[in-house]
């Protein structure tokens, strides 16, 4: 079966959409054992559909119920179902997959991602292909759906998942945590975080914001995230309303190489709890992904600049807002750094090995800066808010962004971005 995304071979099925996920998980933290029941509602995208392929890595399928099957086969990371009766376009079927095992990360050309053990807890970092490490899914970014996630584990631990928490129920030595993510979400953005955390509300901002932090790190957190409310206020002015009911910040006791974003929350290591610019810019970066990456999600991994370029540019907007240096200063600094490097890939098609390379982030941000410099602030910030409003809850490509920007602003945005996206040489520094 052809892959849904050439950058992620062996993931995704384009013949159907999952329209809802209901996940019931039971996790034993002492031996990293996961038991799950995933109920999927699917909608056929073609006539005479008999075969469904799900993605599931390293975990054993115990039973499939709710649909009549001729057979099923679990080879490697792919669970293939053969239906007894074919589906027509738009037919819907709901079925449940029971599974269990020891979850582990998924390794792809782009990197490794998925369910990981911490020193005393769990971190799930799904980007780009880690979702199958903990639940059966149609693992393509273009198949967004609402989720209900229930996680049962030892009561000594705090559990966070995407969306709004709808219940916490203790029974014996275990507690079940329930979350609902009603806004459509790509599988790689689904997450579970487990640790010895305490939650508190970060007050004063335009949206409900919570911090989930080890108690011993509370003072350091308050200092490091003192500007979280101001960041949220800036980004809502620049991009439009925050796209989800709430935002959670999870800080692990462990050090993490990089922070991580998931839909409606971000995850930081304890090593980022300080006031250095490199820590502050990453706090801004992960927050900006709630608009650029989570509300509006790429349709293909090659369009990663639509996430990282805009999130990186958001760092520069925050830099000016907090007095660290103007947006133009940041653009000049990073343009100079890139000017000494020889690009080998196009920004609009960087190749799987370069998807998360720093030059994608910085050249992507410079592309955004070039648009702003060419069309002016009024049109530029209206464009950002209009883009989120138009594509919120869905997916988009580079071509769709360019076409939307040209129609929305009346400016030749395609001509502005062409040398940045589709040519190798670094264009001249854009100036506001």
Predicted confidence band at 109 (pLDDT cuts at 50, 70, 90)? confident
- In DSSP terms, 96 is beta-bridged to 39, 65
pLDDT above 60: residue 392:
yes
Average pLDDT over residues 249-271: 97
Q: Which residues of 320-358 are buried (b: 16+ CB within 10 A; e: fewer)?
A: ebbeeeebbebbbebbeebeeeeeeebbbebebebbbee
Q: Where are the domains of the chain?
A: 1-196, 197-290, 296-422
Fold for 296-422, please state it: Neutral Protease; domain 2 (1.10.390)
Q: Please report the pLDDT score of residue 194 as a whole number.
A: 98
Q: Using CA atoms, how far apart are residues 267 and 124, in angstroms rounded to an integer?
A: 9
| CATH class for the region spanning 1-196 | mainly beta
Of 232, 235, 287, 236, the residue nearest 259 (C-alpha): 287
Query: Residues forming the annotated binding site?
Result: 285, 289, 308
Question: Model-level pTM?
Answer: 0.97
Among the listed residues 335, 332, 285, the one whose alpha carbon sits nearest the alpha carbon of residue 310: 285
What DSSP state is assigned to residue 428?
P
Query: What is the spatial distance between Cα 271 and Cα 79, in angstroms, rounded to a whole number?
Result: 39
Closest C-alpha to 292, from 329, 357, 238 = 238
Share above pLDDT 90 across residues of the chain, in percent, rounded to a whole number = 97
Longest dimension (CA), the chain: 65
**pLDDT score for 103:** 98
pLDDT category at 240 given cuts 50, 70, 90 is very high
pLDDT at 342: 87
pLDDT score, position 27: 98
Place 76 in a pLDDT band, splitting at 50, 70 and 90: confident
Residue 1 has pLDDT above 80, yes or no: no
| 197-290 classified as CATH 1.10.390.10 | yes
Cα–Cα separations (whole angstroms), residue 343 to 120, 302, 346, 362, 364: 42, 16, 8, 12, 13
As a whole number of angstroms, the distance between CA 32 and CA 102 comes to 6
Active site residues: 286, 361
* Rounded Cα gap, residues 281 and 205, in angstroms: 19
* φ/ψ (deg, to 5) at 207: -140, 160
Residues 8 and 344: their CA atoms lie apart, in Å, by 21
Binding-site members for Zn(2+) are 285, 289, 308
261-293: pLDDT as tens digits: 999 999 999 999 999 999 999 999 999 999 999
Q: pLDDT tens digits, residue range 147-179?
A: 999 999 999 999 999 999 999 999 999 999 999
Is 302 in a helix, a strand, or coil? helix
Q: Tens of pLDDT along 284-342?
A: 999 999 999 999 999 999 999 999 999 999 999 999 999 999 999 999 999 999 998 88
What pLDDT was estimated at residue 2?
59
Strand-pair category, 121-125 with 192-195: antiparallel
Q: What confidence category does residue 344 fall into, taking pLDDT thresholds of 50, 70 and 90?
A: confident
Are 1-196 and 197-290 the same fold in CATH?
A: no
């Amino acid at each position: 079966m052809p892959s849904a995304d050439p950058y992620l071979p062996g993931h995704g099925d384009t013949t159907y959409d999952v329209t809802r996920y209901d996940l019931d998980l039971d996790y034993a933290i002492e031996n990293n054992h996961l038991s799950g029941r995933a109920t999927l509602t699917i909608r056929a995208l073609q006539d005479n559909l008999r075969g469904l392929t799900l993605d599931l890595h390293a975990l054993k399928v115990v039973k499939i119920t709710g649909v009549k099957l001729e057979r099923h086969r679990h080879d490697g990371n792919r669970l293939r179902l053969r239906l007894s009766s074919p589906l027509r376009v738009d037919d819907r079927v709901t079925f449940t997959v029971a599974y269990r095992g020891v979850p582990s990360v998924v390794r792809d050309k782009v990197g490794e991602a998925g369910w990981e053990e911490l020193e005393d807890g769990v971190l799930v970092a799904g980007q780009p292909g880690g979702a199958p490490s903990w639940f059966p899914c149609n693992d393509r970014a273009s198949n967004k759906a609402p989720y209900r996630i229930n996680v049962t584990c030892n009561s000594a631990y705090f559990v966070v998942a995407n969306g709004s928490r709808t219940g916490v129920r203790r029974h014996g030595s275990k507690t079940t945590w329930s979350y609902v993510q009603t806004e459509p979400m790509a599988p790689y953005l689904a997450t579970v975080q487990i640790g010895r955390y305490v939650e508190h509300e970060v007050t004063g901002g335009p949206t409900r914001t919570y911090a989930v932090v080890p108690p011993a790190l509370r003072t350091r957190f308050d200092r490091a995230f003192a500007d979280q409310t101001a960041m949220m206020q800036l980004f809502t002015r620049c991009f439009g309303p925050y796209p989800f009911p709430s935002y959670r910040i999870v800080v692990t006791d462990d050090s993490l190489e990089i922070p991580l974003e998931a839909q409606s929350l971000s995850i930081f290591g304890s090593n980022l709890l300080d006031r250095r610019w490199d820590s502050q810019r990453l706090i801004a970066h992960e927050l900006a992904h709630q608009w650029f990456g989570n509300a509006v999600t790429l349709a293909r991994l090659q369009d990663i600049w639509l996430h990282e370029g805009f999130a990186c540019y958001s760092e520069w907007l925050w830099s000016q807002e907090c007095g660290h240096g103007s947006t133009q200063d940041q653009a000049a600094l990073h343009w100079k750094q890139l000017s000494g490097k020889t690009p080998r890939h196009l920004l609009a098609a960087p190749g799987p090995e370069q998807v998360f390379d720093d030059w994608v982030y910085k050249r992507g941000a410079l592309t955004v800066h070039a648009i702003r410099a060419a069309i002016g602030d009024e049109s530029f910030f209206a464009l950002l808010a209009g883009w989120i409003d138009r594509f919120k809850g869905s997916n988009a490509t580079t071509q769709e962004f360019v076409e939307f920007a040209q129609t929305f602003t009346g400016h030749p945005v395609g001509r502005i971005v062409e040398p940045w996206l589709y040519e190798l040489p670094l264009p001249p520094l854009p100036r506001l």
